[in-house]
Amino acid sequence: MDKIKRILFVCLGNTARSPPAEYLARYYAEIDNVDLIFSSAGFINAFSYMQRESQDYLNSKKINHSDFQPQLITRSLLKSQDLILTMEKSHSIDILKIYNNIPNIEKKTYTLKEFNGETQDLDIIDPYYTTSDMYREVLKIIDDNVMKAVGKIQKLNSQL
């Protein structure tokens, strides 16, 4: 396996879960002085902005996200990534099914929780349409898993 440099976080609309994952990952990589490139994308064009609750969560950690622009998954975007971390198992399955002709796509696509070694309850639910308490709970789950993933990537890269 080659070093992991480019990491893509994926959710359905790229406005609630994958954007905070992207910015949290940048934050943790910067703290550890690790040179990694993070981005995020979605399957659909839901909104032209990050959801307010996700923005508030990042603001509470003093993480700048002012340059965020939602983007859609494309073949070239997926092909250019070393690691693709999805929020739900169905996202991984869809990527593998739709983009099965991308070399090694099956070796670099996982749910975020799966990448961290979990084997059950691999989905991080979409908090849109839930309560603010549930939204915060989901963002905390994303935060914890992103911190673990950045640490794991560092460890894997140091072994190469």
Task: Give, in order, the Cα–Cα distances in Å from 129 to each of 16, 53, 85, 96, 133.
Answer: 11, 11, 23, 28, 12
What pLDDT does 1 receive? 63
Question: pLDDT tens-digit profile of 39-98?
Answer: 999 999 889 999 999 999 999 999 999 999 999 999 999 999 999 999 999 999 999 999
The domain locations on the chain are 6-158
Q: Which sign does the torsion angle of CA 88, 90, 94, 97 carry?
A: positive
First to last CA, the chain: 8
User: Contact at 8 Å (CB) between 112 and 21?
Assistant: yes
Task: Give, in order, the Cα–Cα distances in Å from 37 to each of 20, 26, 81.
Answer: 15, 8, 9
- 160 has a pLDDT exceeding 90: no
The fold of 6-158 is Rossmann fold (3.40.50)
- Residue type at 71 in one-letter notation: Q
Distance CA 80, CA 99 (A): 13
What pLDDT does 159 receive? 92
User: Contact at 8 Å (CB) between 44 and 26?
Assistant: no
